[in-house]
Amino acid sequence: MSQKSNRSDGVFPLPPKRYSCWMESSDAIRVRDLRKSFFVTERESGVGAALASLVRRRREEVTAVAGISFTLKPGEIVGFLGPNGAGKTTTLKTLSGLLHPSAGEVSVLGHTPWKREKSFLRQITLVMGQRNQLVWDIPAGDSFELNRAIYKIPSPDYRNTLGELTDLLDLGPLLRKPVRNLSLGERMKCELAAALLHRPQVVFLDEPTIGLDVTMQRRIRAFIAQYNERFGATVLLTSHYMADVEALCRRVIVIHHGRLLFDGELGALVDRFTAHKTIVIKLEDEGRDLARYGDVISREQGAVTLRVPREETPRVTGRILAELPVIDLTVEDPPIEEVIERVFAGEIS
């Protein structure tokens, strides 16, 4: 679309505002052509190389984000996916004002994040699953009080929010224990509460469930959904656990090597990146050769799994039902985890 708009032959004249869509005021987050590179000094291992680096340092430019654009509407929860080093954390840090981009335009709630205006910082939060903001040696409740003062939260609002967060996260008994005595999961719950006391409108979550057991992951996930629903907050979430993304996000943005690979509904991701479906068949006669219908992926407990090109699935299914003594047949998309893995591995693009 943008290519067409940019044509200068008069067939698709430029609109008066070229980025009228980008400028739409109802977006909570707008990112346009964001780029971020770092200079990293590097040297070979060994004493010789160490001495050589004293004289001359070799600096290499590493591109973390190579020009990505997207927008988020208020209240959206969007999953931000990519393998390690894809540029997810760099993007979140830029959006929350910790990093200065190398190029591009970013607007979060109408603010330029890296100016770090107080009015901006009061409306956002960044939770990093691998870092702590709570003071280690004192109960979380005391750190909460400090945040109340720093964010100038009026006392009645503070009491209400803390009450709600305590209910949602079941924090009651945890607030009086020193943070260092809490389990990883308990600490994460307290970290989330501390980060949300000022009721930010935009929440950046960088792997909030990392290292947690399955029950705690589910708990945190449910909480994020409830928080989003109750306060209408916009949430951008990165996670390595597809379960987080499947449970929370209708929309996902996939980046890889700093570039945007996909931005759309989770279901469409599978359509976009998989050319196949799987057909699982149970037959009365288990021994049959099914290779002529598609690739046989597995045979387990009387069920045969076939991989069939997506567009041929209806025809193949029809043939199987007509030609074979079928007891049961199901057509499935490959598991989303597998799709994502293959996208990241560079097998499909």
Binding site residues, another protein, CB under 8 A = 38-39, 90, 93, 96-100, 114, 116, 118-119, 121-122, 124-126, 128, 131, 133, 135, 137-139, 142-143, 145-146, 148-152, 178
Identity of the residue, 95 or 171, whose beta carbon is nearer to another protein in the bound complex:
95
Give me the least distance between CB of 74 and another protein, in Å please: 21
> Of the two residues 208 and 294, which places its CB atom closer to another protein in the complex?
208
Q: How far is the CB of 339 from another protein (least distance, A)?
A: 30
CB nearer to another protein: give 116 or 310.
116
Nearest to another protein of 71, 96 (CB atom): 96
Closest CB 93 distance from another protein, rounded Å: 6
The smaller minimum CB distance to another protein, of residues 187 and 221, is found at 187
Q: Which is nearer to another protein, 148 or 199 (CB)?
A: 148
In the complex, minimum distance from the CB of residue 234 to another protein, in angstroms, rounded to a whole number:
17
Q: Which is nearer to another protein, 176 or 315 (CB)?
A: 176
Minimum CB separation of residue 189 from another protein in Å reads 18
Instruction: Report the nearest approach of another protein to the CB of residue 138 (Å).
Output: 4
Strands 326-332 and 276-283: antiparallel
* Least separation in angstroms between CB 192 and another protein: 14
Q: Is 257 left (phi over 0), alpha (psi -120 to 50) or beta?
A: left
Query: Which of 103, 275 has the CB closer to another protein?
Result: 103
The least CB distance from residue 149 to another protein, in Å, is 4
Residue 129, CA distances (Å) to 78, 192, 195, 248 in order: 17, 9, 12, 17
CA neighbor of 36 nearest in space, from 219, 322, 225, 255? 255
Contact 231, 261 (CB under 8 A): no
One-letter amino acid identity for 254?
Answer: V
